[in-house]
A and B are shown apart, each in its own frame.
Chain A
Amino acid sequence: MALTALGSVLSAEEGGEAVDPSKAGFVPPNSLEFAYPDIFGGDGWLTKPVLQIVLAVVVVFLFFFLSSRKRAMVPGKFQFAGEGVYGFIRNGVGRDVIGHGFEKFVPYLVTLFAFIYVNNVMGIFPGLNFPTMSRIGFPIVLALLTWGIYNYVGIRKFGVYGYFKNMMFPPGVPKPVYILLAPIEFVSTFLVRPVTLALRLFANMFAGHLLLLVFMLGGAYMLANESLLLNVLSPFAFVTAIALTFFEALIQLLQAYIFTLLTALYIAGAMAEEH
């Protein structure tokens, strides 16, 4: 079927005739590229993204488990790598952002960072070539986890009444204006934050994957096409695809870091005494 970009490219390679004659030519990649069937066929839930999530769990666990087993005072390379990742998040994100009492959040922050990063990297990893966080269900769960944690921490410290009072009534505002500002504060802290957390990660991975698809499948289509002009121009598409792959690698690391950093900032904000 020429419904997906891949379909149109494959049918071009078969001789330039689209299976559906009314849809000849290259079909640009769209959201159908993100819909995977159950591995046993049909509508089930055991899809490639689900398998990739499980794979990410295994990879993250094995990385930290194996790199911490020897506990040598002079670390070998693998232990050094594991300690490097752990220390980067523990110090740069946990200690510097949360400050006092940060230790109990370090396991969540380190795991969050590593898990998101491994899932993102699957977008450029040969063979997998799909960033699992581009399926919005997964970022939603992580955002809900973070949201649950920073609200729970704030409520446990200040009590329900105290926490919402801190949130909704900033200092330095004349009393009658409080009632006008309270809904905005509530919506901003309680609703906008988890939504933007999930949406930011999802949109970055979704858009990155689409970009790579456009240039790779477009280049393949140009190469397989009858027109000599397109054949000759196709390397430009492939070169761009390679450059975008490197760019995606940077974005993937950055988005994992930003998600983790914002989690720490929201936790710190929930525990802040400044009001």
Chain B
Amino acid sequence: MSQDADGEAGEGKREQARAESDAWNITGYLLGGPIAWGAIGWLLDRWLGTEVFLPVGLVMGLGLGLYIVWVRYGRS
């Protein structure tokens, strides 16, 4: 390779990359929460013939997603 000057600059970029990865991972959790628990709630509704578990699952999933974000990223 005719150029390979990265040393400390590389460390800065790794920090930046990690920050960007965190942003997308957090988005993933905030989406995945309602999706996962909404799906579970919807399946429960189909099994039991009710209508209440889908919205309960969605809301619970959002709350749990926020909790995961706090656990993984909020605590220092």
| Majority secondary structure, B binding face | helix
Q: How many residues of B contact A (CB 8 A)?
A: 32
Is A189 interfacial (CB-CB < 8 Å)?
Answer: yes
Verify A187–B10 contact, CB threshold 8 A: no
Instruction: Check A95/B10 contact, CB under 8 A, given A183-B40, A184-B68, A188-B29.
Output: yes
Q: How many residues of A contact B (CB 8 A)?
A: 36
Task: Give Cα A180–Cα B2 distance, bound, in whole angstroms.
Answer: 51
Counted as pairs of residues, one from A and one from B, with CB atoms less than 8 Å apart, the total is 92
Verify A183–B36 contact, CB threshold 8 A: yes
Is A91 interfacial (CB-CB < 8 Å)?
Answer: yes
Query: Which of A1-9, A128-136, A232-240, A261-269 has 4 or more CB atoms under 8 Å from chain B?
Result: A261-269
Task: Give Cα A269–Cα B25 distance, bound, in whole angstroms.
Answer: 10
- Chain B residues with Cβ below 8 Å from A83 are 1-3
Chain A residues near B (Cβ < 8 Å):
73, 75, 80, 83-84, 87, 90-92, 95-97, 99, 170, 172-173, 177, 180-181, 183-189, 191-193, 196, 261-262, 264-265, 268-269
Chain B residues near A (Cβ < 8 Å):
1-4, 6, 10, 13-14, 17, 20-21, 24-25, 27-29, 31-33, 35-37, 39-40, 61, 64-65, 67-68, 71-72, 75
